[in-house]
Amino acid sequence: MLQVSVLSPFTDTARQEQFEAVRAALSAEIAGPPTLLLANWRMSDEEVLDAVVLRPHLITVLLLEPRGGRLTIRDFAHAAWQLDGRPLIGTADADNPFQQFIQQKAALSRLLTSHLAAGQANLNFITGLLLFGEPVAFGPEVEERMSAVPAANTFQLLADPSRFTRRLAQLATPEIDLSEADLQHLFTDLTANLPAPEVPTEADEPEPEPVGPNPTVGTANGFFQQKAAQLWRWLGAEDVDDLDSAPYGYAETALAARNQEKRELEQRQATMQAELAAQIRAMETREAEREKSIAQLRQQLAAAPPVAPEATVLQERLAVESREKEALDAAIAASRAESEARNRELDAKIQQLEELMQRLQQTAAGAPTETRTAPLETPPAGTATTTALVLQRPVARSGFRQLRAWRRRLPRLAALGTGVLAVALVVGGVRSLMAGPPTRFEQNGKWGLLEADGDTVVPARYSAIGDFHDDRAVVEQGGAFGFIDEAGQEILPPTYDALNPYSGSYARVRVGDTYTFIDEDGQEFDHYYYNALDFAEGYAAVLDYRGWFYITGPEAPAKTPALFREAYSFHDGLARVRLTDGYTFISKNYLTDAEPITKPFGRYTNATDFVDGRAQVTQNGRTFTIDRDGDPIE
């Protein structure tokens, strides 16, 4: 459910177009969470928020910047930025967009405090997102300038507009906990006393412009809608179905887009069918070979004396071959069932697109269209709101962990591939008893796995396969990473943007721009961090809005942890850290002692980790090597 309140139209045409694209992208989310979108919201005479997105676990201020190009930053917090050589400043005398966000965050917090009960939302976790309208290339200094400002942890730059809705999902936090009813109540409170929108009189309305086959001038609304239609696909909003009030120009544009999407789906279906057909043919070939082998074994068994040792061996081999044939039969049946299910799903989608294209053709021709928008309650008189409900679905309130897991899995299930189940069954049936991990092989730019005897464990389907550690290897498929075991089974389907091998029972993963860990069962930690290092000797260094600190497992520290400017992994019981007055080394006792000390180590302007009991440090302009007791080594 999406509810939108636009206090007044944007005076900047480009920002109006960008806002329309944002609204379209939010409307297009399949089974998206309840969402409030406030636009052009005036907080004071000088402070106007471009947009604010509120969700059950999210309050994000959107700063709209229609331009793109190369971004350079001299000072993240206190100076104008440069976008393609031109100054990028904020509103209300702010030096740059980050300063603008800090001011707007404070104003929004004051506004929401009077409308939210205690405990509903920690307003310190209001986030900001600078949304560029065109792609942006960051200068090499941008990340360094951002990391030098602690408050920048809650403010992000989105260089790729197509990742907008995904980035919103990544910004969710359990510190904000609003139910659908809470959001509805908040929306009603915020919009109850707004002035009624200005309604132009007939004298104010311009004469309509004639619209030809290739119009270059039209109404302002038509212009916005046409530009928004061009950006909708850019923002990943291909499934928007609210066409009842769309102008003719938009219907024609959308019709072309739907035609293209239909062609892509049909091509995808054809490719999928060809791949599954090839896979089934390969399995049928192997089944024929297995039947031939079974027949030979039976002949040999019949010819062997019942009491001969060869008879026992032949009987065992025959039993193994029979089991493997049963596995192949099951794999073929499962693959065919999977193919039929995927075909039905794609056929339904293609049928839906055909119906939508018919409606678009009717809209383009001026024919009336049948609305699918659910009826809405009439808003209170005097509210300046526009409420859109594209798909009316019950939203059950559940825990943040369940919401995050469901959000993570839904868009990534397609990455499993249509033949995963079949391959898993085949691999389980033909797995040999030979020791040692399988070896990698490359075919047509893809990687697979071979047994020592040359038998295929996994066909060449992955972009990359890492080394095996503890019966697991990292694999990449479609830009996502997961784990397979030595049998070729996907014990963690490729779902993460980055993935490290397990270290100390936990594996570090990246979801968008944030990091967390998974345990050996694949369960994610509840907390996300701006940066993190692998577990080492029972500890992992992580970074959140407060600074760097150490964790020992899924649970957050019970009390405020020891914080550092920088923190690194433990080696032989010592870890390199940076305090306010320089680098030093700490033991694990430092993290638990009531009065932590760093002796026998001093403060250094630079330092390396300990390797083989030695570390190189720089102190008072002199660089030298120290041992684990902090003594110089000559």
Based on the domain organization, do 593 and 623 belong to the same domain?
A: yes
Based on the domain organization, do 147 and 112 belong to the same domain?
A: yes
Q: With 80 as the cut, is the pLDDT of residue 11 above it?
A: yes
Based on the domain organization, do 56 and 175 belong to the same domain?
A: yes
Q: Is residue 413 part of a domain?
A: no
Q: Is residue 559 part of a domain?
A: no
Cis peptide before 600 (omega within 30 of 0): yes
Helix H segments across 467-536?
A: none
Q: Where are the strands (E) in 415-513, listed by range?
A: 439-443, 446-450, 456-462, 464-465, 473-477, 480-484, 490-496, 498-499, 507-511
Domain range for 576 is 564-634
pLDDT (tens digit, 9 = 90+) per residue, 219-250? Answer: 334 444 444 444 444 444 434 333 333 333 44
Phi, psi dihedrals of residue 405, rounded to the nearest 5°: -65, -40
| Res. 95 pLDDT band, cuts 50 70 90 | confident
Based on the domain organization, do 255 and 385 belong to the same domain?
A: no
Tokens of 618: 């720089």
**What is the amino acid identity at position 602?**
G
- The Cα 452–Cα 352 span in angstroms is 48
pLDDT (tens digit, 9 = 90+) per residue, 439-472? Answer: 999 888 899 999 877 788 899 999 999 999 888 9
Based on the domain organization, do 14 and 146 belong to the same domain?
A: yes
Q: Is residue 600 part of a domain?
A: yes
pLDDT (tens digit, 9 = 90+) per residue, 495-543? Answer: 899 999 999 899 999 988 899 999 999 999 988 999 999 999 999 999 9
Domain count, the chain: 3
Based on the domain organization, do 161 and 18 belong to the same domain?
A: yes
Based on the domain organization, do 278 and 387 belong to the same domain?
A: no
87: enclosing H helix or E strand: strand 86-88
pLDDT score, position 475 = 94
Tokens of 74: 């001299």
Based on the domain organization, do 256 and 144 belong to the same domain?
A: no
Q: With 60 as the cut, is the pLDDT of residue 392 above it?
A: no
Q: Is residue 258 part of a domain?
A: yes
Q: Is residue 442 part of a domain?
A: no
Instruction: Tally Cβ neighbours within 10 Å of residue 482.
Output: 24
Based on the domain organization, do 360 and 378 belong to the same domain?
A: no
Based on the domain organization, do 572 and 604 belong to the same domain?
A: yes
Q: Is residue 89 part of a domain?
A: yes
Based on the domain organization, do 44 and 173 belong to the same domain?
A: yes
Output the domain CATH number for residue 570.
2.40.10
Based on the domain organization, do 34 and 124 belong to the same domain?
A: yes
Phi, psi dihedrals of residue 564, rounded to the nearest 5°: -135, 155
